[in-house]
């Protein structure tokens, strides 16, 4: 069995046994194809300690078409895919390099972009229209900030999963993990106003403007042939569309930062910590499997420490 065949079986294993998303499988396929193209190996035994070390050196020195080096975290994505593949090979008793011998490079702690409280209000209030699109977009922004959702989690939501009475619902996040998220009062009101405008039967929570798309639906007495049959699928919004919506209202609100849906997720976590939430609770609400991931928000703690320092340090010297 060739290593390319084993790679294909590994991707099937990720899909069936591990329940990984299609996007994750596509990424692993890309990273492993890159490794196999570079190494030109044909057997798991060909993956040696020296080969892995040379691959890490290659990733650190290679340039993109634009002449830019790969970021450290991007390099790690390639290495993580290789390590996962090695663990799979070991699980199937193939002789190859132990995954633990391939180290993941250290990366500097990244800074988190988030919105200040007044900026959050500005971007939410920018979506002030009373038509279908305006109400939908306000509900999207409110929900991203209220529940701290990833954009993929938001676009995968269905109407029947939202419990407006309890102001909570369950989402399926990374690694197919379920977690409970909560709605603020304003998010609940925005969703109610938006859902009152829905006259379609599409199960998706957030859809394209059904009034605009109505012209694409075949008439009752019209035969469904050719291209007219392609508009029978869901009108569910895509993550890319939500990204454009968020950017549109950030510009409309006069916010100069580069705002993405994830910026509102960061702002959600920041808001909780500033108001006294403990980091373990924030970890649970964000759906992080490791507390280390949540610790990127320690800039909040640092800000609070600075305020304490300013308020209490050197007070006797001021007398």
pTM, rounded to two decimals: 0.68
On whether residue 51 sits in a domain, the answer given is: yes
- Phi, then psi, of 289 in degrees rounded to 5: -75, -25
Q: Give the Cα separation of 24 and 15 in Å (integer).
A: 9
Segment 88-98 shows an average pLDDT of 95
Binned at pLDDT 50, 70 and 90, residue 88 comes out as very high
The predicted-structure confidence for 152-184, as pLDDT tens digits, reads as follows 999 999 999 999 999 999 998 887 788 999 999
CB neighbour list of residue 94: distance below 8 Å, 6 or more residues apart: 6, 44, 45
Q: How many residues does the chain have?
A: 319
Give Cα separations from 302 to 54, 115, 252 (angstroms). Answer: 39, 17, 31
* Whether the Cβ atoms of residue 303 and residue 311 lie closer than 8 Å to each other: no
On whether residue 203 sits in a domain, the answer given is: yes
On whether residue 87 sits in a domain, the answer given is: yes
**Can you read off the two tokens belonging to residue 208?**
């394209």
H or E element, residue 178:
strand 178-182
On whether residue 317 sits in a domain, the answer given is: no
Binned at pLDDT 50, 70 and 90, residue 216 comes out as very low
- Number of folded domains in the chain? 2
Residue 84's domain comprises 3-101
Binned at pLDDT 50, 70 and 90, residue 224 comes out as very low
* Whether the Cβ atoms of residue 71 and residue 60 lie closer than 8 Å to each other: no
On whether residue 141 sits in a domain, the answer given is: yes
In this structure, the answer to whether residues 70 and 31 fall within a common structural domain is: yes
Amino acid 114: pLDDT: 86
How many Cβ atoms sit within 10 Å of the Cβ of residue 156?
Answer: 18
**Residues designated as active site:** 150, 174, 262, 265, 288, 297
Closest by CA to 139, choosing from 156, 275, 71, 129, is 129
Amino acid 182: pLDDT: 92
């Amino acid at each position: 069995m060739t290593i390319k065949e084993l790679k294909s079986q590994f991707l099937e294993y990720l899909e069936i046994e591990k329940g990984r998303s299609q996007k994750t499988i596509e990424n692993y396929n890309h990273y492993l194809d890159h490794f196999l193209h570079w190494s030109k190996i044909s057997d798991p035994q060909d993956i040696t300690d020296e080969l892995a070390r040379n691959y890490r050196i290659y990733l650190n020195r290679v340039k993109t078409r634009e002449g830019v080096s790969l970021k450290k975290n991007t390099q790690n994505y390639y290495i993580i895919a290789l390590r996962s593949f090695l663990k799979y090979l070991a699980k199937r008793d193939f002789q190859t390099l132990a995954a633990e011998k391939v180290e993941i490079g250290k990366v500097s702690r990244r800074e988190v972009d988030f919105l200040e409280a007044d900026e959050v209000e500005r971007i939410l209030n920018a979506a002030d229209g009373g038509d279908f699109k305006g109400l939908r977009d306000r509900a999207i922004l409110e929900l991203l900030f209220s529940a701290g959702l990833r954009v993929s989690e938001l676009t995968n939501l269905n109407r029947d999963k939202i419990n407006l009475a309890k102001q909570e619902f369950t989402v399926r996040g990374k690694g197919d993990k379920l977690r409970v998220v909560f709605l603020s009062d304003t998010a609940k009101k925005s969703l109610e106003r938006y859902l009152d405008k829905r006259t379609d039967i599409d199960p998706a929570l957030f859809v394209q403007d059904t009034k605009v798309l109505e012209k694409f639906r075949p008439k009752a007495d019209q035969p469904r042939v050719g291209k007219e049959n392609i508009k029978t699928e869901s009108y569910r919004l895509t993550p890319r569309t939500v990204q454009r919506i968020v950017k549109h209202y950030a510009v409309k609100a006069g916010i100069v930062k580069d705002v993405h849906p994830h910026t509102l997720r960061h702002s959600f976590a920041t808001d909780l910590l500033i108001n006294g939430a403990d980091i373990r609770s924030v970890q649970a609400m964000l759906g992080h499997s490791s507390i280390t991931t949540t610790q990127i928000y320690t800039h909040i703690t640092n800000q609070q420490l600075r305020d304490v320092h300013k308020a209490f340090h050197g007070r006797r010297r001021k007398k």
